[in-house]
């Protein structure tokens, strides 16, 4: 049976009076300020002097390959570990010295769920509500994340996507001013994923600040106001999705191609290189999704690309020359897959 999330998620701002936590921090001050933060574990430098700010009511996507320093950075913001040097302010509070004060005002969605294996869904929500002074109604949250039918199901019997939805409800229950979402749609089906996307947008409209880590480039591009790409503990790029994906060189053409069957990229590059369109580079971003770049930004270049694909008897499902995708930007900057 499928679950209809549309009514619950689209009315998030109106339900429960929205997230109207009292906020003593001036509204124009950033929700999070990270200033020249370094974190070392023995001789390993996990975070190497990063700085950024997150304005209130915005969504920040923190992207990077595994081991880039994303999780360590977020754990320092949440007050679970202290920087080796540098400073962090979350809602005007130092999470290293006052972690309990910070965690009273933030929500944390863990990818692993964070619930007891034998506890039932509604019991877990009631338990979490008891830890907060002004919690949301657990019954309302059941409907919001589509777990009404699973209210008596134990955590261990939930599917991966259902566990993620419960984790999201637990992150919301205390009416947080900032929510940290770690891979929020991992293991979810398409409908549940759309529900989370709608919910993130509703939270932003209510003034909630969201820090998001994800391995899904389209998710970051669709949801984030600002994107930071990190690798080896350093910030390699930062900006809005439009700024990062803007065409950098009008003398080049970047083409994103999705096909119905695999392309032989070596053959494609050899085929195109024999034509007068300059140097050609091609890359498989993931199965059936390819990025091509040529030095000649002309209509003939695009025609030659389509003809070269056709000579392999491969059908093009979609072709985009409007801008580089965020995935293209990430691979250009880091030179590695997000899950490497």
What are the helix (H) ranges across the chain?
Answer: 6-10, 70-78, 99-103, 121-130, 138-144, 160-172, 190-205, 217-223, 241-245, 265-273, 299-310, 326-334
Q: Of 246, 245, 247, 178, nearest to 218 (Cα)?
A: 245
Reported pTM: 0.77
Q: Is the dihedral of CA 11, 17, 23, 27 positive or negative?
A: positive
Asked which of 15-19, 192-196, 311-315 is least confident by mean pLDDT, the reply is: 15-19
Region 249-274: mean pLDDT is 84
Residue 209 tokens read as 């600040």
CATH code of the domain made up of 6-243: 3.40.50.300
Burial of residue 336 (CB within 10 Å: 0-12, 13-18, 19+) is: middle
First to last CA, the chain: 36
- Looking at residue 300, its pLDDT comes to 83
Q: Which residues sit opposite 210 in a β-bridge?
A: 59, 179
Residue 184 tokens read as 């929020």
Instruction: For 140-161, write each residue's pLDDT tens digit.
Output: 999 999 999 999 999 999 998 8
Starting at the earlier edge strand, list the strands of the sheet with 106-109.
Answer: 106-109, 178-182, 209-213, 59-63, 226-231, 234-239
- Is 247-322 in CATH node 2.70.98.40? no
Q: Is the dihedral of CA 313, 314, 320, 323 positive or negative?
A: negative
Q: Of 258, 254, 186, nearest to 215 (Cα)?
A: 186
Instruction: For 5-27, write each residue's pLDDT tens digit.
Output: 444 444 444 444 444 444 455 66
Region 89-99: mean pLDDT is 97
Region 92-110: mean pLDDT is 95
Domain boundaries defined on the chain = 6-243, 247-322
- Looking at residue 252, its pLDDT comes to 65
- Looking at residue 113, its pLDDT comes to 58
- Looking at residue 243, its pLDDT comes to 87
């Amino acid at each position: 049976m499928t679950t209809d999330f549309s009514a619950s998620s689209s009315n998030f701002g109106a339900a429960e009076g929205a997230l109207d936590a009292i906020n003593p921090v001036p509204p124009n001050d950033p929700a999070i300020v990270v200033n020249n933060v370094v974190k070392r574990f023995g001789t390993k430098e996990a975070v190497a002097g990063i700085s950024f700010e997150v304005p209130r009511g915005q969504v920040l996507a923190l992207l990077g390959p595994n081991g880039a320093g994303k999780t360590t950075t977020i754990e320092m913001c949440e007050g679970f570990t202290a920087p080796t040097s540098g400073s962090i302010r979350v809602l005007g509070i130092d999470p290293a010295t006052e972690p309990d004060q910070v965690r009273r005002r933030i929500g944390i969605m863990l990818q692993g769920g964070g619930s007891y294996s034998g506890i039932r869904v509604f019991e877990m929500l009631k338990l979490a509500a008891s830890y907060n002074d002004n919690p949301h109604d657990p019954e309302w949250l059941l409907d919001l994340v589509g777990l009404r039918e699973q209210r008596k199901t134990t955590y261990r019997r939930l599917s991966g996507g259902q566990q993620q939805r419960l984790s999201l409800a637990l992150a919301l229950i205390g009416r947080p001013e900032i929510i940290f979402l770690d891979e929020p749609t991992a293991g979810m089906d398409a409908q549940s994923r759309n529900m989370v996307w709608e919910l993130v947008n509703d939270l932003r409209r209510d003034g909630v600040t969201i820090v998001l880590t994800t391995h899904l480039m389209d998710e970051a591009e669709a949801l984030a106001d600002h994107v930071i790409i990190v690798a080896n503990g350093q910030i390699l790029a930062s900006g809005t999705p439009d700024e990062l994906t803007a065409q950098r060189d009008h003398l080049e053409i970047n083409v994103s191609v999705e096909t119905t069957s695999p392309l032989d990229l070596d053959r494609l590059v050899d085929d195109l290189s024999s034509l007068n369109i300059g140097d050609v580079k091609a890359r498989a971003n993931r199965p059936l999704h390819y990025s091509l770049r040529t030095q000649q930004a002309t209509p003939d270049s695009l025609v030659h690309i389509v003809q070269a694909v056709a000579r392999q008897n491969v059908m093009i499902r979609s072709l985009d020359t409007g801008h580089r995708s965020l995935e293209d930007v990430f691979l250009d900057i880091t030179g590695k897959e997000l899950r490497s």
